[in-house]
Amino acid sequence: MSSLLIPKVIGHRGAKAYAPENTLASIHTAADLGIEWVEIDVKLTKDGVPVIFHDEELERCTGVSGLMADKTWAEVQEMDAGSWFGDSFIGEKIPSLEQALNAIIDRGLGLNLEIKPCPGREKETAEAALDVATRIWPEDGPQPLISSFQHVSLETAMDMIEEWPRGFLMDDHLENWKELAEYLQVHTININGNARTREEIEEYIELQKPILAYTINDPLRAQELMRWGVDAVFADNPDIIRDAVETKH
C-alpha cells in the first residue's frame, strides 16, 4: 500500500493558465510558482509513443487538423504546441511522456499522471505509459498517482504496478461508483468539483479515501469544497488557489 501525501493544490496540465497546457513550459511554470504536484494527460501517437496531450483532435493546441491517433511521433515533433497560447511560447513542443517525466523529476515535483486514451486504446495506452513511467520514475521517491476515466486503463495499471496508487476519475456522479472504486482498489476519488453537490461529496467521504476535485480556478469554490471535505483541487492558476486555501476555508 502506498503512502500518499497529496498537497491541497495540484497544477492542472502543468499551470494551464500561464503557459500552454501539457508542455514542458507549463511544467516548469508550475515548479517556478512553488507548486508541489502537477497533473498531465498521456495518450499515444499512431506508432505507440506516449505523449502529453489532452484532446483527441490536434487543432486546438497545434493548429494542425486531424487526430493524435493518426500521427506518428516524428510528425508530432514537427508541430508547434505553444504559439496558440502566446508569442513567447512559439516553438514549444508536445513532449513525450519520457521528456515530461524527466522535467518533473528534475524539478522535484509530484505527479498525477492521467491516462487519457483515444477510443479503443485504453489498455494499450496504460501499458505503454506505465512501461515508460516505471522505467524512469525513481524507486525511492513518492509514487505517482495514476488516474483515468477509463476503467480498463485503471485495471491495466493495477495489473502492471499494483503498488502505485490509482485515482478513480468521474465526470458525472456514477450510481455504481463505489463498487467500481472498490473493484479497482483505488486510493483517491477524483471528481468534477464544479458539478458535484455537498450531498454527493458526503457520499464519497464515507469511503475514507482522499477526494480530489477538478478544475477549480475560483478561490471561493476551492474554499467551499474544502469546507465540505474535499482534500485537494486541480487548478489552472494553482498559485492563486493555493493562497486561497492556505489562508482560510
Strand, coil or helix: 155: helix
The active-site residue, picked from 12, 151, 187, 249, is 12
| CA distance linking residue 4 with residue 137, whole number of Å | 16
Question: Which backbone phi and psi does 92 adopt, to 5 degrees?
Answer: -65, 140
CB of 41 to ligand G3P, least distance (A): 5
Verify binding: residue 231, ligand G3P, rule CB under 6 A: no
Residues 23, 26, 125, 147: which binds ligand G3P (CB under 6 A)? 147
Beta bridge partners of 148: 168
- Catalytic (active site) residue 12: yes
Q: Which of 21, 36, 41, 239 binds Mg ion (CB under 5 A)?
A: 41
Binding of residue 236 to Mg ion (CB under 5 A): no
Nearest distance, CB of residue 9 and ligand G3P, angstroms: 13
Q: Grid coordinates in use for 187?
A: 486510493
Site string for ligand G3P, 171-190 (x = CB under 6 A): -------------------x
Pairs from 88-94 (Cβ < 8 Å, separation ≥ 24): 89/19, 89/20, 89/23, 89/25, 92/20, 92/23, 92/24, 92/25, 93/23, 93/24, 94/22, 94/23, 94/51, 94/52, 94/53, 94/61, 94/62
Cell 468539483, located at residue: 193
Nearer to Mg ion by Cβ, of 42 and 76: the residue is 42
- Shorter beta-carbon distance to ligand G3P: residue 47 or 60: 60
Q: Does residue 237 interact with ligand G3P by CB under 6 A? A: no
Cα–Cα distance for residue pair 177/146, rounded to 1 Å: 17
Contact 20, 246 (CB under 8 A): no
By CB under 6 A, is residue 234 in contact with ligand G3P?
yes
Q: According to CB under 6 A, which residues from 14 to 73 bind ligand G3P?
A: 39, 41, 54
Give dist(CA 233, CA 176) in Å, integer. 23
Is residue 28 flagged as an active site residue? no
Residue of closest CB approach to Mg ion: 114
The helix (H) or strand (E) run that includes residue 40 is strand 37-44
**Considering CB under 6 A, how many residues would be counted as binding ligand G3P?**
11
Among 21, 36, 114, 127, which residue interacts with Mg ion (rule: CB under 5 A)?
114
214 binds, among Mg ion, ligand G3P, none (CB under 5 to 8 A by kind): ligand G3P
Q: Does 114 bind ligand G3P (CB under 6 A)?
A: yes
Q: Which of 55, 30, 33 is nearest to 42 (CA)?
A: 55
Q: Which residues bind ligand G3P (CB under 6 A)?
A: 12, 39, 41, 54, 114, 147, 169, 190, 214-215, 234
Q: Which residues bind Mg ion (CB under 5 A)?
A: 41, 114
Annotated catalytic residues are 12, 54
